Amino acid sequence: MSFDGIFTRAITNELSLALKGGRINKIQQPFPNELLMVIRANGKNHRLLLSIHPSYARVQLTNEVYENPNEPPMFCMLMRKHLEGFILEDISQISLDRMIVFEVKGRNELGDISCKQLIVEIMGRHSNIILVDKDRNMILDSIKHVSFAVNSHRAILPGQPYILPPAQDKVSPFDLNEEAILRTLDFNAGKLDQQLVSSFAGVSPLLAKEVVFQAGIANRVSLPKTFTTMFQKLKNYDYSPAITISKGKESFYLFPLEHLQGETKIFPSLSEMLDRYYFGKAERDRVKQKSSDLLRFMINEKEKNEKKIVKLKATFADAEKANEYQLYGELLTANLYAVTRGMKEVQVINYYDENGATIKIPLDPQKGPSDNAQRYFTKYQKAKTALEIVKQQIEKAEQEVGYFESLLQQVETASPRDIEEIREELIEEGYMKDRRKKQKKSQAKPLLDSYQATDGTEILVGKNNKQNDYLTNKVAARDEIWLHTKDIPGSHVVIRSRTPQEKTIIEAAELAAYFSKARTSSSVPVDFTLVRHVKKPSGAKPGFVIYDHQQTVFVTPTEEIVLQLKK
């Protein structure tokens, strides 16, 4: 657990320095379990994210842009009523628990001074955001309601008094000397990391493992010394936020985690680190939930067509015997005198062989000589016709497989809005029935992701077929640069410049590679050409184009380039 009590203390301090005294200008609720507040403080606007996502609960400043629903949820409306225009007077942590209290003050609709508390409890799937009337200690509302039937200790419901969760009665790790630590721990019992977690407030298993690791061969001398040294630095907010990547897994904390023995990246602030760590994670989780039925449908369609191709190729192999059937028919016709009813095979000279070799021809013993010859001519005609039909069916099935592979790739990088556009496309193409409530068809144009190259040039990215078609055929100018991964399903990318710098082309290519099936690969080939050389064949599937006059660059995509270029 990275977001422990000690980390909460640090993020509380960071938020307090940035937001204290600021005015709450705007409140949004982009998703059921997340609030976004725009706070004007120290001469600039800050975006404060409060998330109680069951897996990614956190509080941080963010630069991420979130899409908001057309109609704000009821909790968002209530928050706006009670907090918009209020001043954020203080931000504090309750003990060393993962609980942050935002103290706000302003005038209510009657013009009277009103003090409220916005309490964020970060407790995994039990996380909550609670608005409390401070003067009456009464809950005005919460993002999640919890009754006494669920929690016998307290109810989180409007009108109920706010009661803190049960205290754990652990010792604060700050201001302890080495002797106090020695008295607390039992070195003979072992499992020192678990003892640290159970004894000291705010200490997570992750931090405890780091303490034991840095202590080396943990004993009565090394561990207390390491512990006090580390916590003295943390007490003074002396830390270097870092993400450590070990065995493909990322972990973040207030400093590099040496016990993970992985690659480390340092960040200037906790919020920037959290933006990088959580980049796309919560959104991909939401997309996964929202697109589960789509994924099953697309995977089934892809597998169905793959099985169809196997059967068709077997049929094609049989149909390729057409010339053999013709040869048998002609040789039988020339040797009718040598065939009698009841024969199972006949051996005749092959007149088409330069050496005059003989050939065995299987016969139907129940048919006469002419009927056997005619049987082979009939099979020849059927096989000849089947060759062309089966070839067309194989090509069509292969196109279907490619189409669904591209859709599956698009889901990997899709936002919830993108998923709805993919669903609409499948309905429009006749693959799915529209089971949604009938509503007026939206005339809104697809929204494209916009990025900014290092030199300031705008780069547009389409993340599904609707967006790709709109970008390439409607938005892009004929002399702008168009990019796509070479022979790999992916996004259409356009550089809004006729003469981009080489670095801009590389950056756009990295975006094209990231938003493709090869996003986790290295040295990905990306083609680029002028938009004028990109054509959509008549009757082609959505998003499908052909192009020429292309050049190719090889790039390795990373999340860093997406974060760096995002506008």
Report the Cα 454 to chain-centroid distance in Å: 25
User: Band of the pLDDT at 290, cuts 50, 70, 90?
Assistant: confident
Does 20 have pLDDT greater than 90?
yes
CB atoms within 10 A of CB 469: 20
Model confidence pLDDT, tens digit, residues 496-542: 999 999 999 999 999 999 999 998 899 999 999 999 999 999 888 89
- 84 closest CA partner among 140, 26, 19: 26
Predicted pLDDT at 439: 55
**Long-range CB contacts (< 8 A, 24+ apart) of 521-524?**
521/556, 521/557, 522/556, 523/554, 523/555, 523/556, 524/485, 524/488, 524/554, 524/555, 524/556, 524/557
Q: Is CATH 1.10.287 the right assignment for the domain spanning 294-410?
A: yes
- Please write the tens of the pLDDT for every residue from 82-104: 999 999 999 999 989 999 999 99
> Sign of the C-alpha dihedral, residues 79, 83, 88, 93?
negative
In the numeric block, which tokens belong to residue 521? Answer: 């690969």
Element holding 345 (H helix, E strand)? strand 345-349
What residue type is 434 in one-letter code? D
pLDDT confidence tier of residue 415, bands split at 50, 70 and 90: confident
pLDDT at 218: 66
Q: Is the pLDDT of residue 265 over 70?
A: yes
Position 287 confidence tier, pLDDT thresholds 50, 70, 90: confident
What's the mean pLDDT in 352-360? 86
Task: Tell me the three-class secondary structure of 214-239, residue by residue.
Answer: HCCCCCCCHHHHHHHHHHHHHHCCCC
Strand (E) or helix (H) holding 197: helix 192-199
Sequence-ordered list of residues with C-beta below 8 angstroms from that of 385, at least 6 positions apart, any chain: none
Mean pLDDT highest for which of 134-138, 171-175, 215-219, 321-325? 134-138
d(CA 237, CA 240): 9
Place of tokens 């976004």: 36
State the alpha helices, DSSP H only, in 148-221: 178-184, 192-199, 205-214
pTM: 0.71
pLDDT at 219: 73
pLDDT at residue 440 above 60?
no
Q: Is 366 helix (H, G, I), strand (E, B) or coil?
A: coil
Other CB atoms within 10 Å distance of the CB of residue 537: 9
Q: What is the distance between the alpha carbons of residues 462 and 446, in angstroms, rounded to a whole number?
A: 9
Query: Could you tell me the two tokens for 330?
Result: 């002609």
What values do phi and psi take at 264, rounded to 5? -120, 140
Residue 10 CA to residue 13 CA, distance in Å, equals 5
Q: Per CATH, the architecture of 178-282 is what?
A: 3-Layer(aba) Sandwich (3.40)
What pLDDT does 51 receive?
Answer: 94
Chain mean pLDDT for the chain: 90
Could you check whether 5-142 and 178-282 share the same CATH topology? no
- pLDDT for 352 equals 85
Token pair of 134 as six digits:
């401070």
5-142 maps to CATH 3.60.10.10: no
Residue 466: both structure tokens together: 């609707």
For residue 71, pLDDT over 70 is answered with yes
Please choose, from the candidates 287, 316, 344, 313, the residue with its C-alpha nearest in 3D space to the C-alpha of residue 464.
Answer: 287
Locate the domains of the chain by residue range.
5-142, 178-282, 294-410, 449-565
pLDDT band at 76 (very low <50, low <70, confident <90, very high): very high
